[in-house]
Amino acid sequence: MTHGLTKIDRRPSLWLVGGVALVAVAHLEPAIGVLAWIAPIPWLRHLRVTRGLRARAVFAGAWTLAWIFAVAKIVTSPVPLAMVPALALPVALFQGAPYLAWAAVRPHLAPRTAAALFAAVAAVADFGQHALSPLASWGSPAYTQLDHLPLLQLASVAGLAGVTFLVSLVAALLEAALAFGRAPARRSIAMAVTLVVAAYAFGQVRLALAERTPAATTLAAAIDTDSDMTGLPFPDRARTEAWDAGLLKRTRRAAAGGARLVVWPEAATVVHPEDEGAWLERLSREVRAIGVDVVIAYVVPTSEKPLRYENRARLLRADGEVGFTAHKRHPAPGEPSIRHDEPIAFADRDYGRLSASICYDYDFPRLSLAQARLGVDLVALPASDWRGIDPIHARMASVRAIESGQAIVRATRWGLSVGVDPHGRIRGWRSAFDPGDGVMLVAVPARRVATVYSAIGDLPVGIAGAYALCAAALALARARGLRRSTAPAAAGPA
């Protein structure tokens, strides 16, 4: 039985004030991720103690405001502040769905059944956002736990949605503990604690086993660029030749340090369409002379009105031949890059099977899953960030490594370059804003690690969706039964 109303419950808007503050502080950067475990509680409590369309409209407005505040933290130059609502609204829509689903069925379900439904819908909504929305996986509750590597190992089994499910379930169980008597509260808290301890224990064991079975590594490098290309006007050839000279100088330095693979950042240089053939020939000769594999990343302008360009990454093998060409599949919102949908490119090298993706592509978990299923061991990830998403964007890529068991070398313009192993451990890093020679050398495992997630994919999301539907059907049946039992009896014959 639900406890009586508290002083805050009598002024439910206070729950929303607390909820706005917690979402704004717990999500994106800078953030206090541990607050994500309790951030849903004020929202759930508000939904528990209020009724009617007006209350739901107030909830929706406050929820949207919370995400506007959260997104505003990461919007810095060159992204205009006017983009904040457009970026926040899709996240608010998907991440808000579990709350409204919970509110609709909660009165007709047992407390822990309702809590599990909330978590199941949260997992489905998380998947739906990166499957259907251009905002990809940004705003996922799972990313609030980037500081908790053992917990993130759950992604190797159930993907990003698995971590979201756990965080959401714990919060819903804690809210149920507030709403019911002492004995049910103890059971809810005990269940929440058990789930968190079990997840941490699994992650610690997985990491400990990885330490006991060290894998052979390959020395790779991520290098900086002098490119400051953000759009119009496109740089002239004198500037791009200076950028190219800097890139080749750092590539030689990386090779001299022992690197077998060098990765350039996204948009490391600009190549005009009429120059691309001759440019590639010259670059191939340089790479052959250096004698290492190089994933080059560059843009090719196609038009100025409207502004459009090709965003490419090519593998130039140590012999100077082109190993593969990859294009950006998912331009970030507002980015004028031409979208491509093509078979995943990869090349077998003596250090492993190599593929490449570009920056925002890796905010979509299904891409890394597809690479893993092709047996890719190592992913070169040219990227370009800005201050507002540095370093969270680089760290988000570490979850892809855990999910699919691949090592990643992320070379980042205006952000953090990292080398990540298949367990999400950052093995090397360098900020583009740090002084130095512009070269990050990192030893990364040369062979992928098999994961449950790479085998079963998003099956856990399907199971969560099936559970949510069954729970909703049960709630509907109980609601109909209640209405029938309380309906007045029909009058008998006189």
How far apart, in whole angstroms, are the C-alpha atoms of residue 415 and residue 74? 13
CA distances from 434 to 167, 243, 356, 385 (A): 35, 18, 25, 15
Q: What is the largest CA-CA distance in the chain?
A: 106
Phi, psi of 446 (to 5 degrees): -95, -5
Residue with tokens 């560059």: 298
Q: What distance in Å separates the CA atoms of residue 106 and residue 290, rounded to the nearest whole number?
A: 65
Please name the helix (run of DSSP H) or strand (run of DSSP E) that holds residue 150, with its range, or none.
helix 149-152
Q: Residue ranges per domain, the chain?
A: 13-211+462-486, 216-454
| 18-25, Cβ contacts within 8 angstroms, sequence gap of 24 or more | 18/42, 19/43, 19/46, 19/62, 19/63, 19/66, 20/62, 20/65, 20/66, 20/69, 23/63, 23/66, 23/67, 23/69, 23/70, 24/66, 24/69, 24/70, 24/73
Q: What is the pTM of this model?
A: 0.94
pLDDT mean values, one per 10 residues, the chain (494 residues): 65 95 97 97 96 96 98 93 95 98 95 96 98 96 98 98 98 93 88 97 97 92 96 92 98 98 98 96 98 98 95 98 98 95 96 98 98 98 96 97 98 98 97 96 96 98 98 92 68 43
The pLDDT of residue 1 is 44
pLDDT at 455: 98
In contact, 439 and 254? CB cutoff 8 Å: yes
Axis crossing angle, helix 155-179 with helix 182-212, rounded to the nearest 10: 160
CA angle 9, 25, 423 (to 5 degrees): 120
CA atoms within 13 A on the CB side of 341: 0
DSSP 461-486: HHHHHHHHHHHHHHHHHHHHHHHHHH
Cα distances (Å, whole numbers) of residue 38 to 101, 142, 197, 244: 19, 14, 17, 49
DSSP helix/strand/coil, 445 = strand
The DSSP 8-state label assigned to residue 29 in this structure reads S
376, amino acid identity:
V
The span from the CA of 155 to the CA of 304, in Å, is 42
Contact between 402 and 152 (Cβ < 8 Å): yes
Give the CATH class of 216-454. Answer: alpha beta
* CA 208, 154, 115, 469 torsion-angle sign: negative
User: Exposure pattern of 177-189 as b/e (b: 16+ CB <10 Å)?
Assistant: bbbeeeebbebbe
> Which of these, 294, 303, 356, lies nearest to 325 by C-alpha position?
356
| 322 φ, ψ (degrees, to nearest 5) | -80, 125
pLDDT of residue 7: 72
Q: What DSSP string describes 41-96?
A: HHHHHHHHH--HHHHHHHHHHHHHHHHHHHHHTT--TTS-GGGHHHHHHHHHHHHH
CA 42 to CA 172: how far, in whole Å? 10
Residue 324 dihedral angles phi and psi, to the nearest 5°? -165, 165
**Which pLDDT score is estimated for 180?**
81
DSSP assignments along 222-254, one per residue: EE-------SSSPP-HHHHHHHHHHHHHHHHHH
d(CA 101, CA 482): 20
110 is written with which tokens? Answer: 């047992």
**Residue 65 CA: distances (Å) to CA of 36, 126, 334:** 17, 19, 22
Give, rounded to a whole angstrom, the gap between the first and last alpha carbons of the chain.
42
